[in-house]
Structures are given as structure tokens and as C-alpha cells.
Chains A and B, each alone.
Chain A
Amino acid sequence: LAKTTQPISMDSYEGQEVNITCSHNNIATNDYITWYQQFPSQGPRFIIQGYKTKVTNEVASLFIPADRKSSTLSLPRVSLSDTAVYYCLVAHGAGGFKTIFGAGTRLFVKA
């Protein structure tokens, strides 16, 4: 099962673009890459998912290079409310069986 490596923490300022990179060297052919956001005292919340190239939704963009050994979550123009822990995980195809959450990246957005 592919494990992920992310920075432990990052700081940013309001209005900046934030890029969080995740390494997943052992990703399997049928693994998807998924990112979650977690606020204190809440369960994680799905942000975005991709398999290859670029995916964009109303919240974030996900960049995946051709070798798929890493991915980058991009948050445009962050605000104070984006302060949270962000998890990158890889999962076997649909259904998310035996997903592996890493320790996550704690993003702190300052005014």
C-alpha cells in the first residue's frame, strides 16, 4: 500500500496561494490521489481527487505529474478560515478500501 509524505506544517498569509506537495513513490496503477481538510474537533472533509494531470474545483486545484509519484494541492488566495490540517492519501480505485492517511500538513494562515 502506498504511503504518503507531506510537510508537517506550513505558514501563509491571507490572500496568498498555498501549494502543499505530497510524495507517494509507491503509488499503484489503480490508486487515486485524494485530499482532505480537517478543522479542530471535526471529522475530515473531502476537498479534491485526481488520477493524473490537473483537476480543479471550486475549492482547490490538484496537480499530478506524469509519473504520479507526487501531487500538489493548490489553494488560491487563502483566508484565515483555511487554517486546518490537510491530508493527502492514496487509495485503490473506487470505494477507498484500506486508505492510508498520513500525519497531514498543518497550515496556519496569518492576517
Chain B
Amino acid sequence: DVKVTQSSRYLVKRTGEKVFLECVQDMDHENMFWYRQDPGLGLRLIYFSYDVKMKEKGDIPEGYSVSREKKERFSLILESASTNQTSMYLCASILAGEDSNEQYFGPGTRLTVT
């Protein structure tokens, strides 16, 4: 059974803290994604990666960075957390080169910045 796991389901951080959200997939997928989800706005793409050490900005990359040192792991970093980054963060992965756009999602991390 395919699996995408995220390091925490719930996280509370203070303004200005550095925050790491980690995502691990066990499907040997090349492509990985980080989204944030806010009420009424659906999912918005923050960053994606199509290979180790490769990354591309999504629609809302400001205030975020990412790291992909190993194929199975994709980390989202908030260098200095702010209250407007309070959100649900979702990681996903997909096999490159296939006809399907079936992304596999993790359970999400609900981050609260106070």
C-alpha cells in the first residue's frame, strides 16, 4: 500500500521561529509537492521538486523554502514563522513519466503560529 507520511499532524510554533515540516514517501516517486490549504481557497502549491536537489516555485513560495536531499524526503522550511502562515500543509508525491496525474497525499500538518 502506497504511503506518504508527514512528521506531525499538529504543530504550534511562535512567531519568528524556524519551522521544519517533513514529508516521506515510500513509492520511489520522483515528483513531490507541498501545498497549503486554507478555508475557501482550496489547495495552493508552494513548491515542487522533480528530482533530488531540484525544486521549482509554485504559486505562493514567499516565506518558504524547501529541501530535497534524498528522493524519498521533501522538507518544507519556514525560516521565520508568521501568523499568516497558520494553515494546513499537505505533501504529495507522484510518479513522473506516467499518464496518470494521481498524486498521493499525506494526512496533512495543521500548523498554528502564535
B25 part of interface (Cβ distance < 8 Å): no
Q: Does A45 contact B (CB under 8 A)?
A: yes
* Range of interface residues on B (Cβ < 8 Å): 20 to 34
| Interface residue? A42 (CB, 8 A) | yes
- Are A94 and B48 closer than 8 Å at their CB atoms? no
Give bound CA distance, A47 to B41, whole Å: 20
| CA of A49 to CA of B48, assembled, Å | 21
Chain A interface size, as a band, is 20 to 34
Q: Which residues of A contact B96 (CB under 8 A)?
A: 94-95
Cα distance A101–B48 when bound, in Å?
14
> Across the interface, do B50 and A103 meet the contact criterion of CB distance under 8 Å?
no
Nearest neighbor of B108 in chain A, beta-carbon distance:
A43
**Interchain CB contact under 8 A, A94 and B107:** no
Q: Is A91 an interface residue (CB 8 A)?
A: yes
Cα distance A46–B40 when bound, in Å? 20
Q: Say yes or no: A43 contacts B40, CB within 8 Å.
A: no
Chain A positions near chain B (C-beta within 8 angstroms): 32, 34, 36, 41-46, 49, 87, 91, 94-104
